[in-house]
Amino acid sequence: MERKCIRCDENMILNCNLKVYEGGGALFAHRPIYSIYRETIGWGKDEDIKIAVCPKCGYVEPYIQFPEKLL
């Protein structure tokens, strides 16, 4: 799968993860994997959110690698 940057048409780097730090001082907590889900009976179906990064302009775009799994 190839993704083009919508800003500069460069090939994007795929399968990156988003890491968000919360907290202050020397104590930090992070959750490196985020997911999107479609609620059904039970736990539901979920799919990890990946990040694509443009190496030229720095544009960042979230995407789901296998959206058909949510159907």
- Tell the burial category of 12 from Cβ atoms under 10 Å away from its Cβ (0-12, 13-18, 19+): buried
Per-residue pLDDT of the chain (71 residues; tens, 9 = 90+): 789 999 999 999 999 987 766 666 666 555 566 777 776 655 667 788 889 999 999 999 999 888 887 77
3 domain residue, yes or no: no
1 domain residue, yes or no: no
Determine the structural domain holding residue 61 and report its residue range: 13-70
Q: Which pLDDT score, from 0 to 100, does residue 71 have?
A: 75
Q: How far, in Å, CA of 41 to CA of 56, rounded?
A: 43
Q: Which pLDDT score, from 0 to 100, does residue 35 have?
A: 76
Q: Which pLDDT score, from 0 to 100, does residue 47 have?
A: 82
Contact 1, 11 (CB under 8 A): no
58 domain residue, yes or no: yes
Distances (CA, A) of 20 to 11, 28, 40, 56: 25, 10, 28, 23
Give how many domains the chain has, as a whole number.
1
7 domain residue, yes or no: no
Is pTM, for the whole model, over 0.75? no
5 domain residue, yes or no: no
6 domain residue, yes or no: no
Of 47, 45, 46, 49, residue with least CA distance to 18? 49
